[in-house]
Amino acid sequence: MDERRITVTVNGERTTVDVEPRLLLAHLLREGLRLTGTHIGCDTTNCGACTVLYDGRPVKSCTMLAVQADGHEITTVEGLGIASELDPMQEGFKEEHGLQCGFCTSGMMLTATALLAENPNPTEEDIRWALSGNLCRCTGYQNIVKAVLWAAKKMRPPAAV
Amino acid sequence: MALDEIKIGGLGSSRKRVEDDRFIRGMGNYTDDFKLPNMLHMEILRSPIAHARIKSIDTSKAWEIPGVHMVMTGEMMATRNLAWMPTLSYDTQAVLATDKVRFQGQEVACVVADDPYIAKDGCEAIVVEYDPLPPIVNPRQAVAPGAPLIRDDKEGQNDNVIFRWEVGDKEGTDRAFAKADKISKLQLHYPRSHPSPIECCGSIADFNPSTGKLTVYMTTQAPHIIRIAVALVAELPEHMIRIIAPDIGGGFGNKVPVYPGYVCSILCSILLRRPVKWIEDKSGNLISTGFARDMYLNSELALSKDGKIQAVRFHADSDHGAFFSDAQPSKFKIGLLHSAFACYDIPYGHITAQGTYTNKAPGGVAYRCSFRVTEAMFFQERVIQAAAADLGMDAAEFRRRNLVKDEQFPHRTPFGFLLDSGQYARCLDVGLEAIGYQDFLRKQKEARARGRRLGIGISTMTEPLGAGNSREYDILGIKMFDSAELRVHPTGRAILRTGAKTQGQGHETTWAQIVSHELGIPAADVIVEEGDTDNTPFGMGTYASRSTPVAGAAVAMVSRKIRAKARKLAAHLLEVSEEDVEWELGRFYVRGAPDRGVSIQECAMAAYSNMPDGMEPGLENNAYYDPPNLTWPFAVYIVTVEVDEATGVWDVLRMVAVDDCGVRINPMIVEGQIMGGLTEAYAMANMQFMTYDAEGNCVGSNYMDYLLPTSWETPGFELHEVVTPCPHHPIGAKGVGECAAVGGPAAFVNAVMNALEDTGVRNIDMPLLPDRVWEAIKYRRDISGAPPVRTD
């Protein structure tokens, strides 16, 4: 099949690759770039395990074509922090026991990251609404909500006195 | 001085999870994350029809596609005697269909290609001609006169009945019913459901032609069982099979059975001499792999005027789909259904059950429960509520009057189970107090006067968790024990390996806590490994909440063996006799001279550098644990709801959970498990079910139709605890991972039914969808959830 040349910035790194037009973005990330922290759950845009940030907005990479990412910036879970230094969102998920099997966690953290970028002081209700496109079968969400609140608190600049 | 156990991450410490460090970085290793050199990809072609004879399969076009390496059909499997495989319930299941397809989604062919896209192209190029047959979608239809025979492949199978089974004292029960002041009856259906972990099933089979060794990376909750199953089915030597269960994206019972996809990937790898990866898509997972429940119940309680239950009698019809491949280890055909009513003091009981084939997916699994316990506890708590209403008694008081009392333990149930311990009345009190029971009843009355419908539902349950014992529980004849192996290195750091397999339960964190509790080695100094059959002791895996009761016990026992040897080393180092050595957490000291002591780490070093003459060097051991009995946690779940009469929508106002799972290893993880279970309970009561239309089409084949609750709908939970240590478990723990999913659904349904009590509606089958609730209120009638049948 004919391939198309695309240039994508993934976690800050510009990459040029040749892809089949039908290749899904999730597969480009996982197979082509070996960023396996992006998981594939449902193939129908429901579960959100494959959520990545597309120019800062959460998208479900299993129903988006790789060619649609041409010229855009993608952030995956691997871009959230490096091994020795954790993003507050990652810390929050560990501190508040916001994960069990870990399969939905990457997508959850990225969706929540986009939420906090837009709304640094979310209520529990804001968080529950923002995360309603990401399914978790293990936790019952209560601790995920707490994890996001934890991260929001940590990210906020200390209140002026 | 003894160590502070909480500080070193021992028992009772809410230690943060070790496994999180990789998951939050996206560095987990799930099956699909592995990419082996020269790896090919496999996809499965499934039947679009529920019941049909296969007239022909033409694969020629698929073979012509560049990049396709193999197109496999049932006929080709048959030449290797692999078209059918044995199931865990001593039936057979088609790997790839040869004669007929028996459910929608059944595996018909598979294609192996350079990448999954080409493999899917290959599947689309296969032409299958079907000759449709009438489909059967429920057990009543299955046994109706003239029903088509689903399993015409089986010699001597003349109808669609799989088994008939009974347990209990029929005569005593009948006598009690004859004398009853009141008989309460209820008919229920527990709908078919699917565990649906977010990660689907998959495998990478890697047959190495130079060594003859087969390595399979696989989404399995029970790698050792898979190894023995592959050895028996594929007739490969067991030592040349290595099963690796890497990180698993949720299991909930779905990843216990052997599925055709695994078998196909293994055979294709052997034939092609290259690694073959098969990763199921969500539809494949939902329509073909281990479903759960799907049971119809007719039940009766014999009651006396004073509100005591005299006897219970019920009949269950279960729908097993096209092949009897229940993944359950008990000797009882209908699993542990007879654990129903175990927490109540009832003198007599009799249960009958009948299992049938239908044209639906096979593979009944214990979805977040011991097998059939979820149905048992749901039926129990729904009937209890109906009986209380029939007697005009308060639902809490009726339970209190009938619950087993503290002084009655150990308590033998009418169906033969032995319950070891519990404080049932206390748990109920904690729950009622937390929800503000009397206050709510008052508010409910006031609200009703103003036209609002509030409801309160209680569920009190115990659940048999942690199979074995080995007398009554086995898989393919292998007894249900479990195992642990502990190696303490010279510096006092250790590696622990067990035969269980974590899928989110946090074993890497909690097993280390048990070692820490027994030996005083800080939990952070213990690494835990599971899932690789080459490197772990034989065990039966993780499901049915058995890890802590069985493998967890093995961890405690192996630690004690290590401590026994360390004691000898300590005596040697302290130059006293072993009898004069005392233990406190983390160190041995001389009796009467507490300052003279050695730490466990010093003993470890001595095991390699300074052992006494004649002592075998090293500090490692293993333990195989065969539990004397199941563990019986107890729980009380109370839900309050408001039902909107105009729309049938119901909202949860509050949910209170009181769990007594004995000693808690890691309270944070226990609470996480309970909240997860409560969410699945809410799901089943509210939206999550898998049904079929009259043609046998699966309604629920993807996440747009198979509804799972999101963060938006899921209510908040209020958790409470009571601790009654298990008397026969080495650290007093009981199973917990599943109680909430087992006992929770009835609390939600009872709450909604309570809100409707004045309508005369006795039952709405789960899930309580708004249209069902609306219809029940509007027309004052019960609502059945049984799939519709064709009437032509």
What pLDDT score was predicted for residue A157?
Answer: 81
Q: Is the pLDDT of residue B768 over 90?
A: yes
Identify whether residues A67 and A101 lie together within a single domain: no
Long-range Cβ pairs for the range B439-442 (8 Å, 24+): B440/B640
Q: Which of B32, B18, B20, B372 lies closest to B197 in space, CA to CA?
A: B32
Tell me which chain A residues have a C-beta less than 8 angstroms from the C-beta of B252.
Answer: 137
Task: Quick: pLDDT tens for B161-205.
Answer: 999 999 999 999 999 999 999 999 999 999 999 999 999 999 999
Nearest CA in chain B to A141: B711
What pLDDT score was predicted for residue B467?
Answer: 85
Q: Which helix (H) or strand (E) holds B381?
A: helix B373-391
With an 8 Å Cβ cutoff, is A36 touching chain B? yes
Identify whether residues A41 and A96 lie together within a single domain: no
With an 8 Å Cβ cutoff, is A112 touching chain B? no
* Fold exhibited by the domain B292-467+629-779: Aldehyde Oxidoreductase; domain 4 (3.30.365)
Q: Is the pLDDT of residue A120 over 60?
A: yes
Angle at B552 between CA B658 and CA B549, to 5 degrees: 50
Last-in-domain residue among A79, A111, A142:
A79
Task: Quick: pLDDT tens for B670-721.
Answer: 999 999 999 999 999 999 999 999 999 999 999 999 999 999 999 999 999 9
Q: Is the pLDDT of residue A83 over 60?
A: no
Q: Which helix (H) or strand (E) holds B483?
A: strand B482-488
CB contact at 8 A, A50 and A41: yes
Task: Tell me how far the alpha carbon of residue B111 is from its chain's centroid.
Answer: 32
CB contact at 8 A, B163 and B142: no
Asked if the structure places residue A25 within a domain, the reply is yes
Helices A105-118 and A142-155: angle between axes, nearest 10 degrees: 40
- SS3 at position B670: helix
Task: Quick: pLDDT tens for B217-243.
Answer: 999 999 999 999 889 877 789 999 999
Asked if the structure places residue A149 within a domain, the reply is yes
Q: Which of B523, B491, B488 lies closest to B5 in space, CA to CA?
A: B523
Domain that holds residue A110: 88-155
Strands (E), B136-195: 161-168, 182-193
Task: Quick: pLDDT tens for B299-313.
Answer: 999 999 999 999 999
Identify whether residues A46 and A64 lie together within a single domain: yes
Can you tell me the distance from the alpha carbon of A89 to that of A107, in angstroms, rounded to the nearest whole number?
12
Identify whether residues A17 and A55 lie together within a single domain: yes
Provide, rounded to the nearest whole percent, the portion of chain B with pLDDT above 70. 99
What pLDDT score was predicted for residue B236?
Answer: 87
Mean pLDDT, chain B, whole residue set: 96
What amino acid positions of B are annotated as catalytic residues?
A: 221, 368-369, 738
Interface-testing mutation among A74, A101, A145, A146, with chain B (most B C-beta atoms within 10 A): A101
CB contact at 8 A, B248 and B255: yes
Interface-testing mutation among B710, B739, B748, with chain A (most A C-beta atoms within 10 A): B710
Residues of chain B with CATH 3.30.365.10: 20-27+481-625, 292-467+629-779
With an 8 Å Cβ cutoff, is A38 touching chain B? yes
Helices B395-402 and B424-435: angle between axes, nearest 10 degrees: 170
Identify whether residues A23 and A60 lie together within a single domain: yes
Last-in-domain residue among A79, A96, A117:
A79
Identify whether residues A113 and A68 lie together within a single domain: no
Can you tell me the distance from the alpha carbon of B181 to that of B304, in angstroms, rounded to the nearest whole number?
5
- pLDDT confidence bin for B791, thresholds 50/70/90: low
- pLDDT confidence bin for A17, thresholds 50/70/90: very high
Q: Residue A102: which of B28, B672, B678 has the nearest Cβ?
A: B28
Characterize B52-78 residue by residue with b for buried, 16 or more Cβ atoms within 10 angstroms of its Cβ, and e for exposed. bebeebebeebeebeebbbbbbbebbe
> CB distance B252–A137 less than 8 Å?
yes
Can you tell me the distance from the alpha carbon of B657 to that of B461, in angstroms, rounded to the nearest whole number?
12
How many beta carbons lie within 10 A of that of residue A22, not counting itself? 11
DSSP code for A30:
I
Measure A160 CA to nearest chain B CA, in Å.
32
What order of strands is seen across the sheet that includes strand B68-73? B68-73, B107-113, B40-46, B276-279, B202-208, B213-218, B241-244
How many beta carbons lie within 10 A of that of residue B291, not counting itself? 28
pTM value is 0.97
The complex's ipTM works out to 0.97
Can you tell me the distance from the alpha carbon of A76 to that of A105, in angstroms, rounded to the nearest whole number?
12
Identify whether residues A48 and A72 lie together within a single domain: yes
SS3 content of chain A, % helix, strand, coil (to 5): 40, 20, 40
Identify whether residues A16 and A73 lie together within a single domain: yes
Asked if the structure places residue A161 within a domain, the reply is no
What's the CATH code, domain B20-27+481-625?
A: 3.30.365.10
Please tell me the CATH superfamily of domain B34-133+200-248+255-288, with its number.
Aldehyde oxidase/xanthine dehydrogenase, a/b hammerhead (3.90.1170.50)
Identify whether residues A65 and A95 lie together within a single domain: no
**Would the CA dihedral through B708, A69, A78, A89 be positive or negative?**
negative
What pLDDT score was predicted for residue B792?
Answer: 63
Asked if the structure places residue A23 within a domain, the reply is yes
Strand duo B482-488 + B494-498: pairing = antiparallel
Last-in-domain residue among A79, A99, A125:
A79
Nearest CA in chain B to A137: B197
Burial of B164 by CB count in 10 Å (0-12 exposed, 13-18 middle, 19+ buried)?
exposed
Domain count, chain A: 2
Token pair, residue B572, equals: 């040697």
CATH number for the domain spanning A50: value is: 3.10.20.30
Q: Is the pLDDT of residue A1 over 70?
A: no
How many beta carbons lie within 10 A of that of residue B152, not counting itself? 14
Identify whether residues A41 and A93 lie together within a single domain: no
Asked if the structure places residue A43 within a domain, the reply is yes
Identify whether residues A64 and A94 lie together within a single domain: no
Identify whether residues A71 and A92 lie together within a single domain: no
How many residues comprise chain B? Answer: 792
Tell me which chain B residues have a C-beta less than 8 angstroms from the C-beta of A76.
Answer: 26
Q: Which helix (H) or strand (E) holds B674?
A: helix B667-686
Token pair, residue B15, equals: 């230690």
Asked if the structure places residue A51 within a domain, the reply is yes
